[in-house]
Each structure stands twice: as C-alpha cells, then as structure tokens.
Amino acid sequence: MKGARILLVDDEVEFTENMTRLLVSRGYHVTAVNSGDSAIKALSQDKYDVMVLDLKMPGMDGITTLREVKKLQLFTETLILTGHGAVSTALKAMKLGAYGYLTKPCEVDELVEKIEGAWDKEDTNK
C-alpha cells in the first residue's frame, strides 16, 4: 500500500529529516512538522492517511494535539511515538482514538508495519 500520505509530527528536527528520507524511499508521501500547532494547521489544509505523532513536545504536546485533532474533526489515523517510555501516556492516547504506539528509537520497518495497519483501518472506515 505504498503512496500513503503521512504527517510526521516531532520536535526533533534531525529525527523528522531522517525518518522522512527513509519513508519517502519506501514510496510514502511525507510532510514533516515540528510542533502540535503546525500539525493542526497541516491537517486543516490537507488530507493525510496517517499521522505519526510524538508525545513529548514543547508547547502543544502529543495528547493535546490529538485532542484538538478530534475536537476539530480533522480525521486521520494516528500512531503515537514516545521516546520517554511513557507507555501509560501512549495508552491514554489510544483511548483518545490513536491506532497504536511505538517507542523511540524505532526501526523503520516496524514503523512501516504500523503505518500500513493504520492505513488499512482508515480505508475500512471510509
């Protein structure tokens, strides 16, 4: 299912640059932003199949971003990334509607597998 439109949201610029390059090389269309506010703006301007969302960010964190996405009805399947071992927070995000979560650092193949699962779910919701 290559060709999915991915919104990658993480405050670590080096991480988003590297992951964007890896996902693009696998056939995905990736937009990377570095804040929750930028994610809301991107989702309100364009359609994405899957959002990969970091939990720990300055300003609007991942949980707040996810709540705002749901409140504004900017539907997209969401994968949570956490580099802080905050599994309980990731589970909280799943209760808010996130598809799943991964801990950072994650292998790109593991991320691709989760993206494909989320994209399959999104397609069945249409």
**Interval 63-105: pLDDT, tens:** 999 999 999 888 789 999 887 666 677 778 888 889 988 888 8
Q: What angle do CA 126, 99, 54 make, to 5 degrees?
A: 125
In the chain, where are the structural domains located? 5-124
Q: What CA–CA distance (Å, rounded) separates 83 from 56?
A: 8
Residue 1 has pLDDT above 60, yes or no: no
pTM, two decimals, is 0.89
Q: Are the CB atoms for 50 and 76 separated by under 8 Å?
A: yes
Q: What CA–CA distance (Å, rounded) separates 108 from 113?
A: 9
Residue 124 has pLDDT above 80, yes or no: no
Q: Are the CB atoms for 5 and 94 separated by under 8 Å?
A: no
Instruction: Please give the CATH topology (third level) of the domain spanning 5-124.
Output: Rossmann fold (3.40.50)
**Interval 22-50: pLDDT, tens:** 999 999 999 999 999 999 999 999 999 99
Q: What CA–CA distance (Å, rounded) separates 44 from 109?
A: 29
